[in-house]
Amino acid sequence: MLTAETLNAERIRLQVAANAGLPMPVAGMLIWAALGAAAFMMEYRDWVFAACFGLGMIFPLALLLQKPLAAPFMSTKSTLNSILAPAIITANLHWPVTLMIIQQAPDLFPVAFGLSTAPMWAIVGWQYKSNVGYLHLALRVPLVMAASIMIPDPARACGVIALAVAAIYLVSALAYAAEVAARRRAAAPAAAPS
């Protein structure tokens, strides 16, 4: 029978076995950083379409990073992994709104862009019984909103937002790595006294 205790134990076991799905925040950091740099080098209209394509590359890049980062988040056996597909779908539901914003209210694009894939963090945080997803959102939402309000030029705002989101992805990856290390230490049998 499933209890809160057994569910929480499985959430922690999955996080440790999948190495917290580190390829996702690492891929996110790399893509967002590239988009941030590109925002200062490309024409804004061209960059917007490159950015939309770039965000779609986070998951494929994460799949490629599973082996080098020893984080098999897609192949780790757990019934909780069934939440990944709905999480990815949820994260991608922003596209209809984002595409309409590009056409109808382009000044709002920096906010839509900056918060686009954010909902997935709450779901993955729950999946791993971790507060890192909520930390990510607590940093990202106010930062994106502030940059969108304080930087009137949408092209510059998008560049700043992308670089800031990349930094938040880095913080998230480091926090997940530290959390997994701590959970591994806690699960290891105490060393016998010599």
Does some domain include residue 190? no
Q: What gap in Å lies between CA 135 and CA 80, rounded to an integer?
A: 21
Residue 115 in domain: yes
Predicted confidence pLDDT, tens digits, the chain (194 residues): 789 999 999 999 999 999 999 999 999 999 999 999 999 999 998 999 899 899 989 999 999 999 999 999 988 999 898 888 888 888 888 888 888 998 899 888 999 999 988 989 999 999 999 999 999 999 999 999 999 999 999 999 999 999 999 999 999 999 999 999 999 999 887 554 55
Regarding pTM above 0.85, the answer is yes
| Boundaries of domain holding 121 | 4-71+82-184
| Predicted local distance difference test score (pLDDT) of residue 194 | 55
Question: Quick check: is 49 in a domain?
Answer: yes
| H/E stretch holding 86 | helix 84-92
- In whole angstroms, what separates CA 173 from the centre of its chain? 9
Whether residue 26 lies inside any domain: the answer is yes
39, 50 contact by CB (below 8 A): no
Cβ(162)–Cβ(39) under 8 Å?
yes
The CA distance from 67 to 40, in Å, is 33
In a domain, 28, yes or no: yes
Determine, yes or no, domain membership for 189: no
Number of domains in the chain: 1
148 within some domain:
yes
